[in-house]
Amino acid sequence: MQRRAFLAGSTLALLAAPRAARAQPAGKVWRIGFLSSGFTTAGGDLRKAVVAGLADFGYREGQNAIFHDRYAEARFERLPVLAAELVRLRVDVIITQTTSAALAAKRATPTIPIVAVAASDLVGTGVVASLARPGANVTGLSFLGTEVAVKQMQLLTEIAPAAARLAFLASRAFEAPSVTFRELERAAPALGVSVRFVETTLRPDYPAVFAAMARDGVTGLVVASGLFNNPAWGRIVELAARDRLPAIYAARPWVEAGGLASYGYNRAEFTRQAGRYVDR
């Protein structure tokens, strides 16, 4: 079966287009907080994209910008503590990765500007009131994870018409996947399929997960992007191929590794746009 990669066109900015780059005040050193739900070892590419995006607008690490990085290492209960640390450091702005991090930052401060990147469904999870009027001190970019996932499910049924009993592989440790799954359940009947939530954890036993799906008669798989699935992308692709289970993924690298199809957004380019929202 031909492998396919699609690019989602449904990423939305929360505010109107920001200004063009401007010269930064001479002598000013900006203190930038970076709050992530993820792992220090796995966050390098995302952080590089943030740094590159800020450099586009004149904020250069080690020159006029100091970064204060805080990683929760997937221990979500630590996010409020880490957000409070950044507030005590009196950073000028907090850039957050993941919806959970954005929520923690919002609860930690009503005044420090928060720029959310790599976050899904900020409205549905209560981070902002609406895309047009986010309110409070939160701005940035949100990809419409629910719409992307529904489109993934639709594409999977077109690529593999026999796939009628689907599974959504994601973690309930995050707010966004639960919101997304509810939309998948609503959309499934119109596509003539059913869908169930298959949960992954911090250290998932993927062979056992796939064995359980086989026992339950799962015939198609939508794999969510996330802190738990992303580091194991090679293993997930391998197991899906072994079981001849049609699966759709969130990014092109999964297809390049042998996956059947992907539909999603360019994560690095999306994240790089954070600079536009810091420079306001």
* CA–CA dist 193, 112 (Å, integer): 45
Q: Please report, for the chain, the start and end positions of each structural domain, with discontinuous segments joined by +.
A: 9-143+267-278, 145-264
pLDDT at 5: 47
What integer pLDDT is reported at residue 47 of this predicted model? 84
Hey, what amino acid is at 108?
Answer: A
pLDDT at 273 (0 to 100) = 77
Q: What is the pLDDT of residue 95?
A: 94
Distance in angstroms (rounded) separating the CA atoms of residues 180 and 77: 22
CA distance 153 to 70: 34
What is the C-alpha to C-alpha distance for residues 97 and 258, in angstroms, rounded to an integer? 28
Alpha helices (H) in 192-257, listed in sequence order: 206-215, 233-242, 252-256
Q: Tell me what pLDDT residue 277 has.
A: 78
Sign of CA dihedral 95, 97, 98, 100: negative
- What pLDDT is recorded for position 24? 56
CA distances from 218 to 198, 226, 231 (A): 10, 21, 23
Closest CA to 163 of 217, 212, 236: 217
pLDDT string in tens for the chain (280-residue length): 445 444 444 444 444 334 444 555 667 899 999 999 888 866 567 788 889 999 999 999 999 999 999 999 888 899 999 999 999 999 999 999 888 898 999 999 999 999 988 777 677 677 777 666 777 788 877 766 778 889 999 999 999 999 999 999 998 776 677 888 999 999 999 999 999 999 987 778 999 999 999 999 999 999 988 777 877 888 999 999 999 999 999 888 888 889 999 988 777 777 777 777 777 7
* Pair type for strands 11-13 and 138-143: antiparallel
Q: What is the pTM of this model?
A: 0.75
CATH 3.40.50.300 fits 9-143+267-278, yes or no: no
pLDDT for 192 equals: 97
233-242 and 206-215 are packed helices; what angle lies between their axes, rounded to 10 degrees?
30
Which CATH code for domain 145-264? 3.40.50.2300
Instruction: Tokens for 253, please give them.
Output: 């690298």
Q: Give the number of other Cβ atoms within 10 Å of residue 32's Cβ.
A: 23
